[in-house]
Chains A and B, each alone.
Chain A
Amino acid sequence: MSLPAKQNTIHIEQLRKSYNEHGAGDIHYIIKDVNLVIKGGEFFVLLGPSGCGKSTLLNMIAGFVSKSGGNLKVDDVEVQRPGSDRAVVFQQADSSLFPWLTVRENVEFGLRMKKTPKAERREISDRYIRLVGLSGHEAKFPKELSGGMKQRVQLARVLANDPAILLMDEPFGALDAMTRRTMQKELVNIWRETHKTVIFVTHDIQEALLLGERIGIMSVGPSSNITDIYDNTLPYPRDVAAPEFYSLYNRIQAHFEEE
């Protein structure tokens, strides 16, 4: 596989999001002065407690939420609106999948919007439905699928558009523990196969350690920030029982308990 011409590097400098900017009284920051560089092809995890603004940061990278200050660039291009280079996998599959479309039609949605010819659409959707392990379920509607399968549909649906960057907002948060474990393994496999840049939001330390090459820790809001970045060089697939895994887990755990 040849190297992509673009590096798909995400540059974030002094990024802020505030509300009540024009009102009377103090300005409240959701996130304040975030600095971060995410390299192309990297698996980056944003870890932090609920309400710390990690979803806000993700939504800003997606282009859904506008910034109040600072810089947010993908390959020197300022992020201003959503784009098909940055795909989003939402936490709730039920609210983001289209229930009136079958699995295949959901996966082909982006291609249909781009008016890709039907034969090509079918070929691409076949490939990604197979990749996420949903072959044989193409004609089903989302309501006929389990929670884990719905998240697979979401994954196949965004991958079909061949985005450079995958933004995932606690996508396995609503799944049961066993399904979740399977999905984590498969996500790692898909990432290694497709070389996408992944930014994965979670509040689960174990999940962060299983998935990420780097783990950015976000402080408790308001005015939250990325306070530390942990490198996780353990080889994939990762073993929860390995001593290195355990010691890193304890370090991050201790980090949160100090706060």
Chain B
Amino acid sequence: MKWLEKKWVSVSLLWLGALIIWQLGALLYGPDVVPGPWATIKGGKELIADGTLMQYIGISFYRVLIGWVLGSLLAIPVGLAIGKVHIIRIFAEPFLNFIRFIPPIAFITLFLVWFGIGEQSKIALIMYATFFIVVLNTLTGVLAVEEDKIRSARSMGAGEWQILLHVIVPATTPYIFTGVRLAMGTSYMAIIGAEMIASNEGVGYLIWNSRLFFRTDWIFVGLFCLGFMGFFTDRLFGWFGRKVLYRYGVVTAGPRRR
């Protein structure tokens, strides 16, 4: 069964199987409840033809990217500070453990009131979705830095800032990377929620709005777009980690697992 382990074989089989089940479902329940593969492609063509699909993907992607990058940039120094300074940690940790259970979606209304109905409220929401995951991962990373590394740097004459920059940050990089990568997933979840409730464009809006026309095929198009967007950004980020952050011990699921 060696040929089954080949990636292109297993992936092709998987998708073929999924397509068959999907088509069977469509035949069983009818196109209005479960639009089949063909109906979905037709729906997709319609949306591409009038330009809305690309525009929606672009706007959703833009929101996620801005909020995710800003949220991460804000969260990394905060996580480092909480991890490094004991007194900050004493105050911050209970707060972090409280607020991380509040999902981003729960804040939508408040963020609309605070930041307006424009882009700001959506980006703020993504930042919120990103922030706590990255802070917690960075914090965990800082706490996991071996004491020997800090001691040896100190006895080689490194000052506290040098230790932070040359020991703690590089040693924490794999944790930060994991946090940022996980945050990407929650960012997509948050933006779809926000676009469903308070937006006139975006993939979330497409999925939500399709109900008015009873276009379940459009919903399927939206779902596929989300899957692909997440898949490709995650792959791209993983590739970046392997290539650029290799020396810091960033390992991502490569093409072969054991």
Quote the shortest CB–CB distance from A5 to chain B (angstroms).
20
Q: Which residues of A contact B162 (CB under 8 A)?
A: 113
Q: Which residues of A contact B156 (CB under 8 A)?
A: 84, 87, 109-110, 113, 157-158, 161
Whether B151 lies near A82 (C-beta < 8 A) is yes
Knowing A113-B166, A141-B247 are in contact, say whether A96-B146 is a contact too (CB < 8 A). yes
Number of B residues near A (Cβ < 8 Å) is 22
Whether A100 lies near B249 (C-beta < 8 A) is yes
Q: Which residues of A contact B154 (CB under 8 A)?
A: 64, 81-82
Whether B155 lies near A84 (C-beta < 8 A) is yes
Whether A88 lies near B152 (C-beta < 8 A) is yes
Q: Which residues of B contact A141 (CB under 8 A)?
A: 247
B74 CB-CB contact with A under 8 Å: no
Q: Which residues of A contact B146 (CB under 8 A)?
A: 95-96
Whether B167 lies near A98 (C-beta < 8 A) is yes
Q: Which residues of B contact A96 (CB under 8 A)?
A: 146, 148-149, 151-152
A32 CB-CB contact with B under 8 Å: no
- Which secondary structure dominates chain A's binding surface? loop
Q: Which residues of A contact B171 (CB under 8 A)?
A: 98, 100
Q: Report the Cα distance A100→B248, complex, angstroms.
A: 5
Knowing A64-B151, A88-B152 are in contact, say whether A113-B157 is a contact too (CB < 8 A). yes
User: In the complex, what residue of chain B is closest to A112 when comparing beta carbons?
Assistant: B166
Knowing A98-B170, A100-B170, A100-B247 are in contact, say whether A113-B158 is a contact too (CB < 8 A). yes
Q: Report the Cα distance A82→B153, complex, angstroms.
A: 10
| Size bin of chain A's contact surface | 20 to 34
Quote the shortest CB–CB distance from A140 to chain B (angstroms).
11
User: In the complex, what residue of chain A is closest to B147 when comparing beta carbons?
Assistant: A95
User: In the complex, what residue of chain B is closest to A59 when comparing beta carbons?
Assistant: B151
Q: Report the Cα distance A92→B146, complex, angstroms.
A: 11
Quote the shortest CB–CB distance from A111 to chain B (angstroms).
9
In the complex, per-residue mask of A64-103: 1 if CB is within 8 Å of any chain B CB, else 0: 1000000000000000011110111010100110111100
Which residues of chain A from 109 to 125 have any CB-CB distance to chain B below 8 Å in the complex? Answer: 109-110, 112-114
Quote the shortest CB–CB distance from B7 to chain A (angstroms).
27
Q: Which residues of B contact A158 (CB under 8 A)?
A: 155-156
Q: Which residues of B contact A63 (CB under 8 A)?
A: 155
Q: Report the Cα distance A100→B168, complex, angstroms.
A: 12
A62 CB-CB contact with B under 8 Å: yes
Q: Which residues of A contact B149 (CB under 8 A)?
A: 95-96, 98
Which residues of chain B from 118 to 172 have any CB-CB distance to chain A below 8 Å in the complex? Answer: 146-149, 151-159, 162, 166-167, 170-171
Which residues of chain B from 204 to 220 have any CB-CB distance to chain A below 8 Å in the complex? Answer: none
Which residues of chain B from 169 to 220 have any CB-CB distance to chain A below 8 Å in the complex? Answer: 170-171, 173
User: In the complex, what residue of chain A is closest to B169 when comparing beta carbons?
Assistant: A100
Q: Report the Cα distance A18→B10, complex, angstroms.
A: 63
User: In the complex, what residue of chain B is closest to A92 when comparing beta carbons?
Assistant: B148
Q: Which residues of B contact A100 (CB under 8 A)?
A: 170-171, 173, 247-249
Whether A110 lies near B157 (C-beta < 8 A) is yes
Quote the shortest CB–CB distance from A120 to chain B (angstroms).
15
Q: Which residues of A contact B147 (CB under 8 A)?
A: 95
Q: Report the Cα distance A157→B248, complex, angstroms.
A: 19
Whether B148 lies near A83 (C-beta < 8 A) is no
Whether B157 lies near A161 (C-beta < 8 A) is yes
Q: Which residues of B contact A90 (CB under 8 A)?
A: 148, 151-152
Q: Which residues of B contact A113 (CB under 8 A)?
A: 153, 156-159, 162, 166
Q: Report the Cα distance A92→B149, complex, angstroms.
A: 10
Q: Report the Cα distance A164→B9, complex, angstroms.
A: 63
A-B contacts, 24 of them at CB < 8 A, read: A64-B155, A82-B155, A83-B157, A84-B155, A84-B156, A86-B155, A87-B156, A88-B155, A90-B151, A92-B148, A98-B149, A99-B249, A100-B173, A100-B247, A100-B249, A109-B153, A109-B156, A110-B157, A110-B158, A113-B156, A113-B157, A113-B158, A113-B166, A158-B155
Interface residues of B, Cβ cutoff 8 Å to A: 146-149, 151-159, 162, 166-167, 170-171, 173, 247-249
- Other A-B contacts than A95-B146, A113-B158, A158-B155, 8 sampled, CB-CB below 8 A, are A63-B155, A88-B151, A92-B148, A95-B147, A96-B149, A100-B173, A113-B156, A113-B162
